[in-house]
Structure 1
Amino acid sequence: MSQSLKIDAHQHFWKYDPLKHAWIDDSMSVLKRDFLPNNLKPVLEKSNLDGCIAVQADQSDEETKFLLDLAQDNSIIKGVVGWVDLQSPQLESKLEKFSSQPLLKGFRHVLQDEADDEFILRSDFIRGLELLSKFDFTYDILIFPKQLAAAKEAVSQLPKQAFVLDHIAKPAIGGKVTDTWKKGIHQLAQYENVSCKISGMVTEAKWDEWKYEDFIPYLDFVLEQFGADRLMYGSDWPVCTLSGKYHEVFGLVNQYISTLSSSEQASIMGENAVKFYKIN
């Protein structure tokens, strides 16, 4: 597979279920329907993107199977980030079974919803993360800025594990860039095994009221800290549609990287995702 693939490194699919998707409240009614590959494919094509990484939205074994089934039947899905109970005593045998699935690239846990800001540092969770590297699986870190310090501490213990930070850690966009976020990003970026997705930003801004300039200080900082070789474009579709159309989300990142070299642009728009998720 060509290294010049253009990839949306972060999006979701679901068959809407009010119980399973209870996080979709009334303010997000636009998301209360099915979002499947046939909905995304024309959207990707309009932006000249070759495919996507499908990321879990529900914390269940069924979710991982659902995404893998979709990936088997839809060539736009280049890889799946599923969910597994990282604290399970049976984790190793589960990962061994999963390792026979070439489209399953890694896992994610919704750490942002955990009441304990240091959940990632629990000994059985760390043990689970450690097992991922044994089977060559990646891990997506989904957190808020207040959880960055704990994430950095976890990463420091796991030099062999490939990590990617989702949504630049979800800072509140539009106001002042906080020291908590900057310090946390700086510390995490010191670890070469951590990449960062420039994704999910529009939903952290004022929905439908943001302007391009709101994102520049954040994009400047993550580019400075991670460099173009550890950043990946992601849309967070369909969640991003709460605050903007797909072409606007894509256009925001595309406009920002337009001053970079063509090789840096190619890295951010796909090559880094191809390498990180071992797309072949």
Structure 2
Amino acid sequence: MRIDAHQHFWQYDPNRHSWITSEMKVLQQDFIPLDLQFILEKNDFDGCIAVQADQSDEETKYLVQLAKEYSFIKGVVGWVDLRASNIDEQLHQYKDESIIKGFRHIVEGEEDPDFLKRDSFLKGIESLTKYNYTYDLLIRPRHYAGAITCVQSNPNQTFILDHIAKPPIKSREFDEWALFIEELAGFSNVSCKVSGLATEANWKSWRLDDFTQYLGHVFDSFGNDRIMFGSDWPVCLLAASYEESVTIVESKLGAFTATEKEAFWGLNALKTYNL
């Protein structure tokens, strides 16, 4: 079974989706399940995980409703205010929505480098562990130290790193990111989504070779049982088609066995997100 472990749906609203700037005009439209269903089938995917793109309870409920209507949505990563004093109550309201596999906060948009290690946030992560939810890490370099502290403080929590931590592929910087990946991968409760690659490269002129050292380091660091594919559709359309997003990764799997490829394209996501 092949699973796209990271994609989004939205009904475009310029206020709610203010992160979509004028240079991202291709994203200033609705992206709904019927748009993706054909693409998944064409590329031999059996399903996907829908990930929040807006930080609201409405977003989580919207994705849950879509999953009820479209069976190819195998899991939802929603949003909840992990810093809230009533976080347990908020999570309890979702106990009957088994399609929700985990939650995410758009930490990359937080200027505070210590956001992930604030007491209120760490208490929220403890609640996720108690309710057996995953947590997706979406970060920028300023959050590296905080991410390590957060993971280290929660050894029983399942973490999934989004977009291989968004390395600066366009500028070809490598060392700081590589050291972080190596340290983070040392925690066995962290997996990594191989996703969002082309959007970190030059949108207009990337080449397959641009991704070689980054993917090689992720594969070496996390091993074959803690990595999974994600398209980051429709955000990937800023720089690459769905098919190109698949090709970028597929071109680097030459040393993988058939079993390892099967795990990468689907089985690892099934296991990690308990689909």
TM-score calculated relative to the size of structure 2: 0.98
Instruction: Answer with 64-73 or 141-150: which moved more.
Output: 141-150
What is the distance in 2 between the residues matched to 1:258 and 1:34? 36
1:41 lines up with 2:37 in the alignment: yes
Task: Specify whether residues 174 and 18 from structure 1 end up closer, same or farther in structure 2 by C-alpha distance, changes over 3 A only.
Answer: closer
Q: What SS class does the counterpart of residue 257 from structure 1 fall into?
A: coil
CA contact (8 A) 2:164 2:194 kept: yes
What is the distance in 2 between the residues matched to 1:148 and 1:270? 28
Pick one of 63, 72, 75 that aligns with 2:71. 75
What is the distance in 1 between the residues matched to 2:130 and 2:200? 35
Alignment gaps of 5+ in structure 1:
none
Pick one of 80, 91, 96 that aligns with 2:92. 96
What is the distance in 1 between the residues matched to 2:51 and 2:41? 19
What is the distance in 1 between the residues matched to 2:193 and 2:214? 12
Q: What displacement does 1:207 show?
A: 0.3
1:51 lines up with 2:47 in the alignment: yes
Pick one of 161, 183, 189 that aligns with 2:185. 189
Q: What SS class does the counterpart of residue 244 from structure 1 fall into?
A: coil
Question: Stretches of 4+ moved more than 4 A in 1?
Answer: none
Q: What SS class does the counterpart of residue 17 from structure 2 fall into?
A: coil
CA contact (8 A) 2:115 2:143 kept: no
What is the distance in 2 between the residues matched to 1:39 and 1:176? 33
Give the AA of the match of 2:126.
E
Q: What displacement does 1:235 show?
A: 0.5
What's the % identity of the aligned pairs?
A: 48
Q: What displacement does 1:147 show?
A: 1.4
CA contact (8 A) 1:165 1:196 kept: yes
- Superposed CA RMSD in Å reads 0.9
Alignment gaps of 5+ in structure 2:
none
1:270 lines up with 2:262 in the alignment: no
Match in the other structure for 2:118: 122
Give the AA of the match of 2:61.
K
What is the distance in 1 between the residues matched to 2:85 and 2:203? 42
Q: What SS class does the counterpart of residue 228 from structure 1 fall into?
A: coil
Match in the other structure for 2:157: 161
Q: What displacement does 1:76 show?
A: 1.1
Say how many residue pairs are matched: 275
Match in the other structure for 1:22: 18
Pick one of 206, 216, 233 that aligns with 2:229. 233
